[in-house]
Structure 1
Amino acid sequence: LRTPLMTLQLRLDTLAEALEREACDADTCGMLESAIRQADRLVSLVDGMLDVSRITSGRLTLQVDRFDLRDAVTEVADRFREAATRAGCALAVAAHEPIVGVWDRLRIEQILSNLLGNAIKYAPHGPVEVDAVRRGELVLVTVRDHGGGIAPEDVERVFGQFERAVTTRHLGGLGMGLYIARQIAIAHGGTIHCDSLPGQGAAFVLELPSRVPGVGLEPTLP
């Protein structure tokens, strides 16, 4: 299923590049941009279903290495700055001290992308703050929004498969992101929890040990 979608993405990108060299009317360009967004969304959904399959079958693997978590936080935040601006969100990042550890960088970035994407999607027109700190043997990354918040009875439910705290129909997705994010955190020996009250925004906190349990690499600078 993923292979034909990747082919579709490639052809749409090629078409977009060709149209950039020609005079493209607004309607045609708009339809092409919509098609690219939908193709990207389909690939994201397929990737999510593949991750759920790996998790439920115990086949989720980590490719770990030593890196500074600040770099991952900054890189992911930079990817979302344009989306944050479009949503009217002021995105602020606080990660000042080195936070070197042993994790799967791509998977950690996947978690951060989910948390940041959710904050921008569900709490537009307000500030979104990301901070990363070390607390003893733990590393904490908090993504905080100032939106409508989550009811107490729904806080834990949002981490279930195919669950969302917000049911507005125009928001896409199958509700797999937080489930996958928490399972990736658990695979690292950590977890994700949420502190929220209705009307007071939400803070999603990623907790990680300095290194994945059982991995020989030490969480120190090379």
Structure 2
Amino acid sequence: MKAGHADPAPGHLLEEIARLREAVAARDAFIAVAAHELRNPMTPIRGQIDVLLRSMRSGAYAPERVQHGLERLEWLIERYMRRATTLLDVSRATTGKLRLVPQPVHLASLIREVVSSLTPLASFAGSVFTVEVPDCIEGSWDRLALEQILENLTSNAIKYGEGKPILVSAELQGGTAVVHVRDLGPGISEADQARIFERFERAVDLSKQGMGFGVGLWIVRQLAQAMGGEIGVDCSLGQGSTFTVSLPLEPGNQG
């Protein structure tokens, strides 16, 4: 070793290694979140394309029907692009820097939009949606964040609901909107309920339910908390699951 050149302090090396490992973990976490959030909206897009293709191949179509289908597809793709744009903001939730933009939202209309976009997937699984939401509920929320919350919860209900009916309902409790998404699937054990909202956690066997990253409910919690709300679950094995999201109507306590 040349004179005047000392070895780097071991403590400094350990800190640098820890920093690099944390950076790699953050990158991997973002990739997993992105994969989950960009995969979900593709289902209604593919469904709309399938409808148009079947109509064209069978010859049972009319120009106005094709136009309507293309307009619907355009709307779905625009929503997909908006979601991709917001992924960077969602990824900032890992550092507690997530900031959302509240705007007036009519809750019943948004819930019906989400349910409508997922109805083909529910039908394929054998499930039927029931929506019970009063028209009077309006609040100031980040619309896309709320849309992501609803889509994650309803798509989970389809995935784990075993083809049984799914109920999406909402109510006012003082200055808070409370949304419930209920399925009649196998339910979740008490032990699993304590961890399903953590990142990369799932309460089911991947080999039975297909591939997934276990980030959907973590994202829901991050977005709900950023809007001053919270999420909880009420269920037991064999009795289905009810996920409940509570959000203040006004943005005073949001992100």
Q: Report if TM-score (shorter chain) is over 0.5.
A: yes
Name the SS of the counterpart of 1:194 in structure 2. strand
How far the C-alpha of 1:130 sits from its partner, in A, is: 0.3
Match of 2:234 among 170, 195, 201: 195
Checking the alignment, whether the CA contact within 8 Å between 2:141 and 2:227 is kept in structure 1 is: yes
Match of 2:182 among 144, 159, 167: 144
Which residue is 2:28 aligned to?
A: none
Look up the equivalent residue of 2:128 and give its one-letter code: A
Match of 2:210 among 155, 166, 171: 171
How far the C-alpha of 1:141 sits from its partner, in A, is: 0.4
The residue correspondences of 1:152-163 to structure 2 (distance < 5 A) are 152-163=190-201
Is 1:110 the counterpart of 2:148 in the alignment?
A: yes
Structure 2 alignment gaps of length 5 or more: 1-30, 58-76
Name the SS of the counterpart of 1:134 in structure 2. strand
2-side partners of 1:155 and 1:100: how far apart? Answer: 30
Checking the alignment, whether the CA contact within 8 Å between 1:48 and 1:177 is kept in structure 2 is: no
Which structure shows the bigger proportion of residues in helix conformation? 2
Number of residue pairs matched by the alignment: 183
Checking the alignment, whether the CA contact within 8 Å between 1:162 and 1:176 is kept in structure 2 is: yes
2-side partners of 1:96 and 1:51: how far apart? Answer: 31
How far the C-alpha of 1:136 sits from its partner, in A, is: 1.0
Is 1:211 the counterpart of 2:247 in the alignment?
A: no
Q: Which runs of 4+ in 1 moved over 6 A?
A: 46-49
Is 1:76 the counterpart of 2:114 in the alignment?
A: yes
User: Which deviates more from structure 2 when the two are superposed, residues 61-70 or residues 107-116?
Assistant: 61-70
2-side partners of 1:116 and 1:109: how far apart? Answer: 11
1-side partners of 2:138 and 2:87: how far apart? Answer: 31
Q: Percent identity among equivalent residues?
A: 40
2-side partners of 1:158 and 1:204: how far apart? Answer: 12
How far the C-alpha of 1:110 sits from its partner, in A, is: 0.1
Look up the equivalent residue of 1:212 and give its one-letter code: P
How far the C-alpha of 1:50 sits from its partner, in A, is: 5.0
Give the TM-score normalised by the residue count of structure 2. 0.64
Over the aligned positions, Cα root-mean-square deviation in angstroms equals 3.0
Which structure ranks higher in relative contact order (CA pairs < 8 Å, sequence separation ≥ 6)? 1
How far the C-alpha of 1:98 sits from its partner, in A, is: 1.1
Checking the alignment, whether the CA contact within 8 Å between 1:70 and 1:95 is kept in structure 2 is: yes
The residue correspondences of 1:1-222 to structure 2 (distance < 5 A) are 50=88, 53-169=91-207, 170-213=209-252
User: Which deviates more from structure 2 when the two are superposed, residues 131-140 or residues 55-64?
Assistant: 55-64
Checking the alignment, whether the CA contact within 8 Å between 1:161 and 1:175 is kept in structure 2 is: yes
Q: CA separation of 1:98/1:211 partners in 2, compared to 1, >3 Å: closer, same or farther?
A: same
2-side partners of 1:52 and 1:85: how far apart? Answer: 30
Q: CA separation of 1:173/1:68 partners in 2, compared to 1, >3 Å: closer, same or farther?
A: same
How far the C-alpha of 1:212 sits from its partner, in A, is: 2.1
How far the C-alpha of 1:157 sits from its partner, in A, is: 0.6
Name the SS of the counterpart of 1:159 in structure 2. coil
Name the SS of the counterpart of 1:84 in structure 2. helix
Give the TM-score normalised by the residue count of structure 1. 0.73
2-side partners of 1:48 and 1:71: how far apart? Answer: 22
1-side partners of 2:128 and 2:142: how far apart? Answer: 28
